[in-house]
Amino acid sequence: MTYVAAIDQGTTSTRCILFDHDGSPVASAQREHTQVLPGPGWVEHDPREIWANTRDVVSQALTRAGVSASAIAAVGIANQRETTVVWDRRTGEPVYNAIVWQDTRTARIVRELGEPDRYREVTGLPLATYFAAPKAKWILDNVDGARARAERGELLLGTIDSWLLWNMTGGPDGGVHRTDVTNASRTLLMDLGTLSWDAAIAGELGIPLSMLPEIRPSAEVYGRARGSRVLDGVPIAAALGDQHAATFGQVCFEPGMAKNTYGTGNFVLLNTGERAAPSTNGLLTTVAYQIAGRPPAYALEGSIAVTGSLVQWLRDNLGLIDSAADVETLARTVDDNGGAYFVPAFSGLFAPHWRADARGALVGLTRYVNRGHLARAVLEATAFQVREVVDAMNADAGLELTELRADGGMVGNELLMQFQADLLGVPVVRPRITETTALGAAYAAGLAVGYWSGQDELSALWSEDKRWNPAMTPEARGRTLRQWHKAVQRSLDWADGD
């Protein structure tokens, strides 16, 4: 029996999962990496630690499955998007830590570049600290000698997929420097229409084109692993940004299908087919995926910065719970939020607001509010933010969402899932296999090498585990949404952006 391996390199950890032909996980391994926080709003990762962890979890997963590389048909990569690495093409050494997608240090750069919609027509994205290009510019501007080295062709630039792919295929000894259309579409440098780097934008940001990886489809053989000892000879056949991989894993292949991943942040993607739908309501136009030899599928996306990480904050910073799972138990000690609303704008607000000046706000407090109410407000903050994104998505796409497919670490929280269905007024559905990010990377890699015959076969593998139907009255929904919108207004105009 052969398997497909998926490397799921996320914001807090790296995993490897082996999937069989039924799309079921057979073995896995996971390792967390260090969150480097040099200052307020600054978030970094050590790329070398991520690469070392990747090698370790692949080795552990194969050992637990009792197989060697010869049993692996292909490897797919799913990665935290926008997180940016610059490294030396000769030595493989990063010139600086990876700057993480959550990082807001580039606020000044973004402001100086001009109006938020300056590049939207070409890239589908607003000017924001979220994306990779301002992060790359910061590294070139602030690391001694980096810009001169880049202009001499000595440095490479990429998101985490490119960093892993380059190392997995040999690194300094001929490593492949490529990325896929989904990750490229999150840099603020790719033309959505041509699927190529925009030389004018790169020039304005001072990023030499020689640094950038070649853009390829998401499902395609990029090269074979070599030099890692564990996977040598195995084709690396897919790369997708994590949310695009989850969309693929949820088999949202038809226009109008949508998924939401409840992770460190939340990411709602709506498949818009072969049409790149522009947004006038604060969403991102992005590439959903591309299979080699076919046109790309596009998507509208609503990106929410802080959801699962808010539960971690409740655990680690306030000590109100011992584990993330305890938040539901604590929240169930009360019947509602007690009038308390938590807007988790720790790094500003992402979609649909795009306000870097926002900061976290806990409002509506009275003496009545207790620990249970705070836990409930933390969970409800996720659902409120998703509702805002879905409203924007419905307006941009000209349709009404009829069902939301949910995945990610928080979908086991049944209180949250029910409240989400209540707020949306449509069912929320959890699939049988919730590891959809890794599954999507595996599916894409398997398609590229013929392990699966096509998308119809993948769609047939998807099955429902549980469904939550809305139970809240429209009147109650309207009242609580009005209070949420008031709370959001209280979080704005706080930080000066410097």
Helices H, strands E: what count in the chain? 16, 23
Sign of the C-alpha dihedral, residues 437, 441, 446, 447?
Answer: positive
Residue 428 one-letter amino acid: V
Q: Is 15 known as a binding-site position?
A: yes
How far is the first Cα of the chain from the last one, in angstroms, to the nearest whole number?
A: 56
Residue 466: how many other CB atoms lie within 10 Å: 13
Q: Is 53 known as a binding-site position?
A: no
Please report the DSSP string for 289-334 in residue order: E-BTTSPPEEEEEEEES-SHHHHHHHHHTS-S-SSTTHHHHHHTTS
Please report the DSSP string for 413-476 in residue order: -HHHHHHHHHHHTS-EEEES---HHHHHHHHHHHHHHTSS--HHHHHHH--EEEEE---S-HHH
Closest to 220 measured CA to CA, from 28, 394, 450, 20: 450
Alpha carbons 88 and 111: distance in angstroms, whole number = 29
Q: Is 385 known as a binding-site position?
A: no
What's the gap between Cα 105 and its chain centre? 19
Q: Is 413 known as a binding-site position?
A: yes
Q: Is 30 known as a binding-site position?
A: no
Name residue, tokens 């000595």.
Answer: 154
Token pair for 101: 């997608």
| CA geometry: angle 384, 428, 10, nearest 5 deg | 70
Alpha carbons 218 and 103: distance in angstroms, whole number = 26
Q: Is 226 known as a binding-site position?
A: no
Give the helix/strand (H/E) hosting 181. Answer: helix 181-184
Residue 221 one-letter amino acid: V
3 state DSSP class of 359:
coil
Give the helix/strand (H/E) hosting 52. Answer: helix 47-65
Q: Is 274 known as a binding-site position?
A: no
Residue 387: how many other CB atoms lie within 10 Å: 19
Name residue, tokens 């559905």.
Answer: 429
Q: Is 206 known as a binding-site position?
A: no
Name residue, tokens 């564990």.
Answer: 230
Q: Is 264 known as a binding-site position?
A: yes
Pairing of strands 428-431, 464-468: antiparallel
3 state DSSP class of 185:
coil
Q: Is 341 known as a binding-site position?
A: no
- Identify whether the C-beta of residue 392 lies closer than 8 Å to the C-beta of residue 400: no
Q: For the chain, give the number of residues.
A: 498
Q: Is 242 known as a binding-site position?
A: yes
Token pair for 65: 């499955």
Q: Is 286 known as a binding-site position?
A: no
Per the annotation, binding residues are 11-13, 15, 81-82, 130, 242-243, 264, 308, 312, 409, 413
Per the annotation, binding residues for ADP are 11, 15, 264, 308, 409, 413
Per the annotation, binding residues for glycerol are 81-82, 130, 242-243
Per the annotation, binding residues for ATP are 11-13, 264, 308, 312, 409
Per the annotation, binding residues for sn-glycerol 3-phosphate are 11, 81-82, 130, 242
